[in-house]
Amino acid sequence: MFLIVFGAPGVGKGTQAKILSERLNIPHISTGDILRQAVADASELGLKAKKIMDSGELVPDSLMISLIKENFSNPKSAKGFILDGFPRTVAQAASLDNLMNELKMNNVLIIYLTANEDEIVKRLTQRLACSECKSIFSLSEIIEPDVCPNCGALNGLYHRNDDKEDVIRNRIEVFKSATLPVLNYFELNNKKIFEIDGLGAIEDIAVEILDAVEKFAKEKVVT
Ligand SMILES: [Zn+2]
């Protein structure tokens, strides 16, 4: 079972991917983690990526696909994975599709978390980050004011520049123009897409997704 969690920034892709990974017992692959891991391992591709990132450039698609391929080849990913944060463009989707065909990964389900734009902006502008452990929290996760729920640091919570309204609006515009066409690409290539409102209660959404995954798995067994 190969799941791709798709949706606008701030819709909760990472949160759902993490829950799905635990309940389905298949690895959660985020491109950020892949990059960090490759750099930490100082693999050939990792060193290449580090050099590019250190110069302030974006890691090119070809390199990102190579890193993903390396990760897919890991025995841990053989039974399935949950991909989060990729693809972000139609070109990336096409490369990924080719790679999955090459590796005979057929059972691909796209989970599309939809969201009202103003709700996303509200959610993200209210987020706080911890200056000590770098964790990010929504307001509802903060139990005591000015105390990090993760590491307990005092007075370390702050609003990140990335979470300013104009920055978020801009990221949403980029998503709509560059990333949203990916859905159309997947549809044209006969991929199954499960759409769900990403802004409800986290557990309710997880249950509905798991239900859809189960149905999808059964259909695949029958056909
Ligand atoms: Zn902290």
Rounded CA-CA distance 163/128 in Å is 9
Query: What pLDDT digit, counting tens, does each position of 85-102 carry?
Result: 899 999 999 999 999 999
Cα 45 → chain centroid:
21
Distance (Å) from CA 136 to ligand 1 centroid: 8
Q: What distance in Å separates the CA atoms of residue 83 and residue 105, rounded to the nearest whole number?
A: 13
User: Separation of 12 CA from ligand 1 center, angstroms?
Assistant: 20
The set of catalytic residues is 13, 88, 127, 160, 171
Mean pLDDT, residues 46-52 taken together: 92
- The rounded Å distance from CA 16 to ligand 1 centre is 22
Q: Residue 129: is its pLDDT beyond 90?
A: yes
Which residues are in the CB-under-5-Å shell of ion ligand 1? Answer: 130, 132-133, 148, 150-151, 153
Distance in Å, CA 134 to ligand 1 centroid: 6
CA separation for the pair 81, 121 (Å, rounded):
29
pLDDT band of residue 222 (cuts 50, 70, 90) is low
Mean pLDDT computed over 115-143: 91
Structure tokens at 164: 């300013």
pLDDT digit string (tens) for 168-191?
Answer: 999 999 999 999 999 999 999 999
Please check the confidence at residue 223 and state whether its pLDDT lies above 60. no
**pLDDT reported for residue 8:** 94
Domains, the chain, ordered by start:
2-26+81-222 (3.40.50.300), 31-78 (no CATH)
Q: Residue 200: phi, psi to the nearest 5?
A: -85, -165
Does residue 33 carry a pLDDT above 90?
no
Ligand 1 centre distance from Cα of residue 85 (Å): 24
Please tell me what DSSP assigns to residue 217.
H
Predicted TM-score of the model (pTM): 0.85
